[in-house]
Chains A and B, each alone.
Chain A
Amino acid sequence: MTTDTDNGDPNPGTITRLLSNYEHGDSAALEALFPIIYDELHELARRHRRRWSGDTTLDTTALVHEAYLKLSGGAQIGARSRVHFLRLASRVMRQLLANYSRDRRTAKRGGALVHFRIDHLVDGDLAAETPQDRSLVLTALDESLRALEAADRRLYEVVECRFFGGLTVEETATAIDVSAATVKRDWTLARAWLFRDLETRLGVHEP
């Protein structure tokens, strides 16, 4: 299989083909798609950053969908393939943030650990005010997600789709092949589980 990531943008045809192969069980297609999406998300994030005050309109959902529009080139690739693309992009997004938080952790090794209280974050739009706070929360989130993945793989996958890719309940159901009702229930339980785990990692005091 060939991809044209090495010299410039992959063309939409390539993406469509890879997605189709992936859906038909070609795992190599997945390996080829992953870096393409990774680079695209990276690039999009960079471009957003350059806007003068751009971080306020930047979120994972918007990025994932923008990456989709860009990479598919507006081609009609079918609802199912679109969902698979978004599913994959969610995973890439999760990976991107995990790598980032790992790099930050390495860079900060030896520094004092800031005690960050999760209750500052609940209900607060200005809560994590400094980049340090944010890195800390992101690192904890990464660890919690690993723990969730180990505890219940499906719950984890629902979080990946909903939180990192902004997939709707229905899209998530299609992506991981369960019913929408199951996704709703999983999403509820997963949030309870994650919140509690994050609380212990971030050092919350019981009310």
Chain B
Amino acid sequence: MSEKTFGSVRDLFERALPLPPSQQADFVRATAPHADIADEVISLLSAYERSNGYFEQLSKDVVAPLLSAMHAGDTAEAQPDAGMLAHYEIIERVTDGGMGVVYKARDTRLRRMVALKCVPRRQTSNPGAHARLMAEARAASALDNPNIGVVYEIGEAPSDGAFISMAWYEGETLRAKIQRGLMPIDEVISIASQLGAALVAAHTAGIIHRDVKPANAIVTPAGVVKLLDFGIAQLMSAAADDNSIAGTIAYMSPEQTTKAKLDARTDIWSLGVVMYEMLTGRRPFRGPDEESLIDAIRNDVPAALALLRPDVPPMLATIVETCLKKSAAERYQTAEQLCVALKEHTTDREAYELYLKGRYAWGQRNRAGLQDALAYFSGALDRDPTFARAHAAMAEAYVNMSNFGYLPTSEALARAEVSANRAIALDTALAEAYTTRGFVRASRAAYAEAEKDFLKARSLNPSYAWNYHYYALLLTMLGRLDEASDSLRACIELDPLSLPANTTLAIVAMMQGCSAEARRQFEHALTLSRDFPLTLYYLGALSASEQRIPEAISLLEQALRLAPGFPGVRAALAYTCRLAERPADAQAITQAMEQSASDPTSVTTLALGYAVLGEHDKAFEMLETVRWSVPTLILLRADPLLARFRADPRYPQLLARDGLR
């Protein structure tokens, strides 16, 4: 890159940097002299955003350990990786980040597994102070609470240091859990309450933790939280260099960064930071280096939780904000107060469990599963009528009942709309509810309002995959196929196993005239599940249109078996039997189609059936009064077996009725 180019890159980078990240790209594109420069600047801005804290981490986690390993000839490190320490047999090193090293070890006397933490002792620290800290750590080890990790022994190591042996817990650290992805609100509340309970017990005994952070909490497979390292933070900080502040700065209270005298309220702050991180996946206070991090802790107001994660209930957000008051006097004054606030907030547990069961039943993706899900959701709402998420789920389930033809469309959508509106009234930040209402509006041909709902949902929760899918359906209906395809890809990126999104992506490819690509994508969807009626139907129809008769028959028969109400499935099968020169079968299936069309919802199905079978007059006559559902309208536009029907001069008028072209 030439000097001149680099100069303009630098200039633009520096001007765009103070803007909010969401506006940076637009600004750069509007201002850059060339697209190349804009790309370069945007790429650097994005790198900068992602690099937050990286170099500090690099220094601590990579450079420092290597420096100390440098003289060992290889990277074998200073501590014993095997062997004995007092009466403990070292099994493996668990971590050596932060302060001190932790080993998994076996207590050879009591024959049990322990976590052995080795704490370095500062050579110059005065022996009296060391003894006092050891005494304090021993006092803390007497704490007896189900949420506090059991300390077995605190001892002096023969070679200049202390070790602490603790119960070995199977499970994962809260840190690892947070890193795996956003945690459900309910789980956050459960973990925060347990950490709070641990603090209540410790504070009552006059012990402050001083280093509450996700790496110090183990969550066992049963969901029990164990807070570790009580009374050790000070021992550790005495071991650290006087110039540096010990521990993980990110969780420190403002008063802790000033070496002020600490009380229990510092732990309440740290728990607030942990809750914020559990809810959003990011820490409230950030900075590229120690200096700016400390500055952020003292002065910055963290980004509002509602902005980062709209489904955080306002009450819970208030609890976290109260923990994070800069002045300790404005926080909860005791851990007990915090626990009470959390408890008051918790959703009725039983309602929540019913809701989860409903979600699970829904996962079965068949009629029985959906009906079970509806029953569970309505059970949850009986217990807690203000449970916004259950209303939203109910709305979504009704939409699915309609899509799969398990319930008459108009009835299902009316119910869906009532539930979605109720959910929005209870919680205006519930992306799911907007998505569902958007879908209902799309079904009512209220396209502009529908689009507004989808965009609102997307801004509330950009990682809600389903919204991208429904939005893509609207775009497909409107013939905006490129946008539909992009939205589906966004959905699949978030939820690679989504059957509807993977199938719809194939449908859109088919509509764009890319049959080979469509087939590949359908086949990919089939590898995800062989039981999804939509995939089976469309691939069957595509196969029939390509004269792949046995394949088409097999796929359509499976679709019919799984979803007999699916519009067009009988007609497509009859059509294919005709192609296969099996007129008797075709006849029988057509009759079955006509007989099954006894209720008004089946009018569309029957009409589309006639359309597939080439009886255009009948079809157009019936369709005159039909209300389209989203999937049938997409079927009308996408089904390869309806290609001739779409070539009929009456077809554009049919679409125009709903404001479509």
Contact = CB atoms under 8 A, between A and B. Distances in A.
A binds B: yes
Contacts of A61: 59
Contacts of B55: 163, 191, 194-195
B651 interface: no
B71 A135 contact: no
Given A185-B14, A188-B17, A191-B48, A59 B78 contact: no
Contact of B6 (A42, A46, A97, A151): A151
Contact of A55 (B6, B65, B119, B244): B65
Contact of B47 (A121, A152, A193): A193
Interface in B59-93: 59-72, 74-79
A131 B52 CA distance: 24
B90 to A, nearest CB: 13
Contacts of A178: none
Interface stretch (B97-105, B310-318, B337-345): B97-105
A71 interface: no
B118 A49 contact: no
Contacts of B100: 53, 56
Interface stretch (A12-20, A31-39, A72-80, A122-130): A122-130
Contacts of B61: 121, 124-128, 134
Nearest to B283: A123
B47 A195 contact: yes
B62 A138 contact: yes
A196 interface: yes
Interface in A13-66: 42, 45-46, 48-63
A60 B60 CA distance: 9
B69 A131 contact: yes
A57 B54 contact: no
B120 A57 contact: yes
A45 B71 contact: yes
A202 B241 CA distance: 32
A97 B120 contact: no
A184 B64 CA distance: 24
B161 A122 contact: no
A131 B70 CA distance: 11
A143 interface: no
B119 A191 contact: no
A10 to B, nearest CB: 21
Interface residues of A, number: 56
A60 B59 contact: yes
B58 A137 contact: yes
Contacts of B67: 45, 48, 55, 58-60, 63, 97
Interface string A180-207: 0000010011011111100100000001
A53 B161 contact: yes
Given A62-B243, A121-B54, A152-B6, A134 B48 contact: no
Interface string B10-54: 100110010000000000000000000000000111011011111
Given A52-B159, A192-B13, A122 B54 contact: yes
A97 B43 CA distance: 29
B240 interface: yes
Contacts of A42: 70-71
A64 to B, nearest CB: 11
- Residue picked from A46, A49, A97, A125, most chain B C-beta under 10 Å: A125
A163 B56 CA distance: 8
Contact of B78 (A55, A104, A137): A55
Contacts of B52: 122-123
Contact of A121 (B17, B58, B101, B215): B58
B47 A192 contact: yes
Contact of A62 (B57, B72, B99, B241): B241
A121 B69 contact: no
A13 B61 CA distance: 36
A100 B120 contact: no
B63 A125 contact: no
B75 A134 contact: yes
Nearest to A49: B68
A57 B75 CA distance: 18
Nearest to A164: B63
B84 to A, nearest CB: 15
A88 interface: no
21 contacts: A49-B71, A49-B78, A52-B79, A55-B65, A55-B96, A57-B240, A57-B244, A58-B68, A60-B64, A61-B59, A121-B57, A124-B61, A127-B61, A129-B96, A151-B6, A188-B17, A191-B51, A191-B54, A192-B51, A193-B44, A195-B48
Interface of A: 42, 45-46, 48-63, 96-97, 100, 104, 107, 118, 121-129, 131-135, 137-138, 141, 151-152, 163, 185, 188-189, 191-196, 199, 207
Shortest beta-carbon contacts, A-B, top 4 = A131-B75, A195-B51, A196-B47, A192-B48
Given A52-B79, A138-B66, 15 more contacts: A45-B68, A45-B71, A52-B78, A53-B120, A54-B78, A55-B77, A59-B59, A96-B70, A124-B179, A126-B175, A132-B75, A134-B61, A163-B59, A191-B55, A195-B50
